[in-house]
């Protein structure tokens, strides 16, 4: 597999008054086409900062973030907007659905701006919610809301799916279902998936695991992924 996205010596610091706080230190990491990559670390380890750099939501203080020949660290604001719109699908811990829109309408928000989108009905069918498109988020369970969020991310037909603690707000059984769905998206649709988590057990579903501590990648290992149904969550 060849790299889809490359992080080369990327560092990120935030200024708090006169103090500069490092969040990521000299991180180098390839995201390979078609893989399921897990970024593992505890709160404050830098994993969300790393995900934000991969997704073009933030720029590194130093280093490069390469998508093909494009260096996102030096791209214009418009170029980053287009990168996020056409190449990236985001899945968040708290779903981030628009409460006044139905499930179908939440997905259509992405369909309307994507370059080569799926139909909203097709995206909902992929996550098993084709019959719930007319329901509002408040009428859906947490697991169903996360499925809608995944459908929304897939509807833009992105190159890369970025998942920020996608099961952090769900019970154990629902978490297994969501992780199984993400594995299916990776294996059946061939989508590259990057998921951040603090759970050693959840990390077992990935092809590779990058471990972060205090803003540094301390380990990168390849493993044989297990099925989400086998996890002891």
Give per-residue pLDDT as tens, 195-217: 999 999 999 999 999 999 999 99
The confidence band for 112, taking pLDDT boundaries of 50, 70 and 90, is: confident
Interatomic CA distance for residues 47 and 209, integer angstroms: 12
Kindly state the average pLDDT of the residues 153-173: 93
Q: Which domains, ranges and CATH numbers included, belong to the chain?
A: 3-225 (3.40.50.300)
What does the mean pLDDT of the chain come to? 94
The confidence band for 7, taking pLDDT boundaries of 50, 70 and 90, is: very high
The confidence band for 1, taking pLDDT boundaries of 50, 70 and 90, is: confident
Tell me: pLDDT of 114 over 90: no
For the entire predicted model, the pTM comes to: 0.94
Question: What local confidence, expressed as pLDDT, does residue 94 receive?
Answer: 86
Question: What local confidence, expressed as pLDDT, does residue 52 receive?
Answer: 94
Q: DSSP readout, 30-83?
A: EEETT-EEEEE--TTSSHHHHHHHHTTSS--SEEEEEETTEEGGG--HHHHHHH
Interatomic CA distance for residues 45 and 211, integer angstroms: 9
Tell me: pLDDT of 116 over 90: no
Tell me: pLDDT of 44 over 90: no
Question: What local confidence, expressed as pLDDT, does residue 18 receive?
Answer: 83
Question: What local confidence, expressed as pLDDT, does residue 98 receive?
Answer: 95
Interatomic CA distance for residues 69 and 78, integer angstroms: 17
Neighbours of 112 (CB within 10 A): 11
Interatomic CA distance for residues 46 and 162, integer angstroms: 15
- Range with the lowest mean pLDDT among 22-26, 49-53, 112-116? 112-116
Question: What local confidence, expressed as pLDDT, does residue 61 receive?
Answer: 94
Interatomic CA distance for residues 203 and 40, integer angstroms: 7
Which sign, positive or negative, has the C-alpha torsion 132, 136, 138, 139? Answer: negative
**Higher pLDDT pick, 15 / 31:** 31
């Amino acid at each position: 597999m060849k790299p889809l996205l490359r992080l080369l010596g990327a560092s990120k610091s935030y200024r708090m008054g006169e103090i500069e706080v490092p969040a990521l230190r000299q991180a180098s990491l390839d995201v390979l086409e078609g893989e399921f990559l897990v970024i593992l670390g505890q709160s404050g380890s830098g994993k969300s900062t790393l995900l934000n750099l991969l997704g073009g939501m933030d720029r590194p203080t130093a280093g490069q973030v390469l998508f093909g020949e494009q260096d996102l660290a030096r791209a214009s604001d418009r170029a980053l907007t287009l990168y996020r719109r056409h190449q990236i699908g985001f899945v968040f811990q708290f779903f981030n659905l628009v409460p006044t829109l139905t499930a179908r309408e939440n997905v259509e928000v992405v369909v309307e701006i994507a370059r080569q989108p799926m139909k909203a009905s097709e995206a909902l069918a992929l996550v098993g919610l084709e019959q719930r498109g007319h329901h509002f988020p408040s009428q859906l369970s947490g697991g169903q809301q996360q499925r809608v969020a995944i459908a929304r991310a897939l509807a833009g037909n992105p190159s890369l799916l970025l998942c920020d603690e996608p099961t952090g707000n769900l019970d154990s059984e629902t978490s297994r279902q969501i992780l199984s769905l993400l594995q299916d998206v990776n294996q059946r649709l061939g989508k590259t998936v990057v998921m951040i988590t603090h759970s050693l057990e959840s990390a077992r579903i990935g092809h590779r695991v990058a471990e972060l501590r205090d803003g540094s990648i301390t380990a990168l290992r390849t493993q044989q992924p297990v099925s989400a149904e086998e996890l002891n969550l």
